[in-house]
Structure 1
Amino acid sequence: MKIRSVVRGVGHYLPARVVENGEFEATLDTSDEWIRARTGIERRHFAAEGETTSQLAIKAAQAALEDAGIPADRIDAIVVATSTPDFTFPSVATMVQAGLGSTHGFAYDVQAVCAGFVYALANANGLIVSGQAERVLVIGAETFSRIMDWTDRGTCVLFGDGAGALVLEAAEGSGTNSDRGVLSTDLHSDGRYRELLYVDGGVSTTGVAGHLRMQGNAVFKHAVQKLAETAHTALDKIGMSGEDVDWIVPHQANLRIISATAERMQVPMERVVLTVQDHGNTSAASIPLALSVGKQRGQIKTGDLLVTEAIGGGLAWGSVVLRW
């Protein structure tokens, strides 16, 4: 027998304000057609003034706990993936813990930008299989609208705000790839590529949050290669291939990246969960958002084999294979 981290519940939250592509036409040299053709994005959600990352995370967490039928005081650990915390400290995770009314267990943040949720999921799996926690709430939450340069048409049209959450619980499995739960993980980073995607501010540099900067073409090339490689590696670890995959649930950055990665994995687009058109790039929130929406749509069902993969600033990238 082997301990597995099984998904018991999933949920998400999106801010009320929906921003269609057309809104950018008034202030930027861009158009709805230009944005759709290059990214696949049609709209995104922006947090309201005063609405914080921790507030989005709490609402997503509440939805996931309700879906799992598990009260907050039975959660042993909360791991939040975010690059846009409310404050320098305390962590968003401890604020979520307080917001859920829980005084049990421990909570902390993980920062790997758009790869954050994959890192957090791998981290949560480690807590469970090592026996440090029986139930872990894993959240991706972002308010990237706070770090946009609204004069840069190459970046500000890409990102949105939101949060998604999973409840993981320890369960006994057979140790084979037919088990439910996390089956394999694969994480990577290479700090030499910092200049490709970064924020030009911070506590020990400028003292202010700064704005997102990106070399889009270079990021695209790295993304397609590295995402396909990490997904293949994670599948290889359990003796499986793209043919065995029911759903790819990718980081929702750009439809062209998603399509190219699926092609390299030899998985048809009919087996890819897509939310980028409605949410834009929500960084660490995008995979849990897509998991929650995919379940709501009736796409993701118990027993399905899923591959999640993501790449973000760092560069940091990785993948997780799990059976729903």
Structure 2
Amino acid sequence: MDKRIISSIIVGSGKYLPKEVIPNDYFLTKEFYDASGNRLVKPNADIVATLQKITEIRERRYLEENLMTSDMAYFAAKDALSSADIDGESLDYIIVAHNFGDILKDNIRIDTCPTLAARVKHKLGIKNPYTVAYDLPFGCPGWIQGMIQANYYLQSGDAKRVMVIGAENLSRISDPHDIDSMIFSDGAGAVILEAKEGDSKEGLLAHITRSDTLDHAFLLTMGPSYNPNHPDNTRFLKMNGRKLYEYAIKTVAPTLKECLERADIDIETLKHVLIHQANAKMDHNILERLFLLYNKTDIPKGLMPMSIQELGNNSVATVPILYDLVVKGDKKNHQFNSGDYSLFASVGAGMNINAFVYLHP
């Protein structure tokens, strides 16, 4: 008798988008400083216009004052369980990717005790002690890394169902006097990955991860406010945007090509590229460079759905939110069909890059 093949299939997804919509005009009255503590003399209107031109961000979401990251993760998890019509008691693992834990609006000390995954499991009311809940801090690629870990559990037979959540609250950890704060936002996305037996491989086909820490570990760090008059030494998220951009456009495309080769599919087979929503210009550049590695310049229209224009960069949450938007029919002219190949990818703090190829059942 032929051995049945185990595939890791997404059976449900969910998201939480904060209710507070922040348009670019919000930043017109802010005081911005450079890394040396000098007040920027360029008019805020010009700063905002340049930001929108490069990133394409028009607005973003900020978390409601009475909520925290674990609340967003819980709402996304509840949505995923509902859409899959699955009892949370049947989950073998709950993996929550994030970087800063729960943060109060007026006290931005990071809180990860207990873990966010433990808080989500508690909020869901799951009694099963063998539903293992743990956190995964891995920069912006955290959710994709969680999917890779979940796939290992399913392929080994250790689990039948795993929920992977990406949730982040960047608005409270970013320096209001740093122009990079205009990029960041809040949100959460979740999927449920399930083991399925069949005659052929579907779902998650191949993956890749790399960590370039020797020369690039500190492109994203924590540091004091750029405002020299800030009352204390509170540490905010800081980004070396130029160096990060250079690293990403040089390194991501070859890594994605390697992932496609591991899946043994050609780039022309791809129907969707879901990439971390960090910077629209950077994402388009990465896609162009990926196609050039195949000596191709014509990129199919609609290959790469985007959400950064309305939602900004909410770190680990961007890719699962984008997936759920497409699944739920909220991205015009984008849908997943049986037999489609999708490439999921991310790059971020570490510096880390990862990706996986997914065949929709």
Q: TM-score, normalised by structure 2?
A: 0.84
Contact 1:80 1:110 in 2 (8 A): yes
1:200 match: 223
Q: What's the C-alpha RMSD, in Å, of the aligned pairs?
A: 1.6
Residue 128 of structure 1 aligns with an amino acid whose one-letter code is L
Distance (whole Å) between structure 1 residues aligned to residue 272 and residue 251 of structure 2: 19
The match for 1:42 among 46, 49, 58 is: 58
Distance (whole Å) between structure 2 residues aligned to residue 65 and residue 303 of structure 1: 24
2:182 match: 157
Q: Which has the larger radius of gyration?
A: 2
The match for 1:81 among 68, 75, 97 is: 97
Change in 2 beyond 3 A, CA 1:258/1:268: farther
The 5 Å alignment of 1:137-216 reads 137-153=163-179, 155-175=180-200, 179-192=201-214, 193-200=216-223, 210-216=235-241
Residue 177 of structure 2 aligns with an amino acid whose one-letter code is T
Change in 2 beyond 3 A, CA 1:210/1:73: same
The match for 2:279 among 254, 259, 269 is: 254
**What is the CA deviation profile of residues 84-121 of structure 1, one whole-angstrom value per residue up to 9, with x for unaligned ones?**
21223211111111111112210101111111111111
- Alignment pair present for 1:69 and 2:92: no
**What is the CA deviation profile of residues 135-184 of structure 1, one whole-angstrom value per residue up to 9, with x for unaligned ones?**
0001000001111100011x100110000000110002445xxx321111
Distance (whole Å) between structure 1 residues aligned to residue 343 and residue 118 of structure 2: 29
Distance (whole Å) between structure 2 residues aligned to residue 191 and residue 142 of structure 1: 23
Change in 2 beyond 3 A, CA 1:119/1:229: same
Residue 2 of structure 1 aligns with an amino acid whose one-letter code is I
SS of 2:336 mapped into structure 1 = coil
Distance (whole Å) between structure 2 residues aligned to residue 305 and residue 230 of structure 1: 17
SS of 2:140 mapped into structure 1 = helix
The 5 Å alignment of 1:1-324 reads 1-28=4-31, 29-31=43-45, 32-86=48-102, 87-104=111-128, 105-153=131-179, 155-175=180-200, 179-192=201-214, 193-200=216-223, 210-266=235-291, 267-297=299-329, 298-324=334-360
Deviates more, 1:27-36 or 1:124-133: 27-36
Change in 2 beyond 3 A, CA 1:209/1:109: farther
In structure 1, stretches of 5+ residues that fail to align are 202-207
Paired residues, what number?
A: 314
Contact 2:326 2:336 in 1 (8 A): yes
Contact 1:83 1:111 in 2 (8 A): yes
Contact 1:143 1:161 in 2 (8 A): yes
**What is the CA deviation profile of residues 207-229 of structure 1, one whole-angstrom value per residue up to 9, with x for unaligned ones?**
x9721111111101111222212
Change in 2 beyond 3 A, CA 1:304/1:209: farther
SS of 1:319 mapped into structure 2 = strand
Contact 2:7 2:195 in 1 (8 A): yes
Residue 342 of structure 2 aligns with an amino acid whose one-letter code is L
Residue 303 of structure 1 aligns with an amino acid whose one-letter code is G
Give 1:304 deviation, angstroms: 2.0
Contact 1:129 1:170 in 2 (8 A): yes
Distance (whole Å) between structure 2 residues aligned to residue 223 and residue 97 of structure 1: 35
Q: TM-score, normalised by structure 1?
A: 0.93
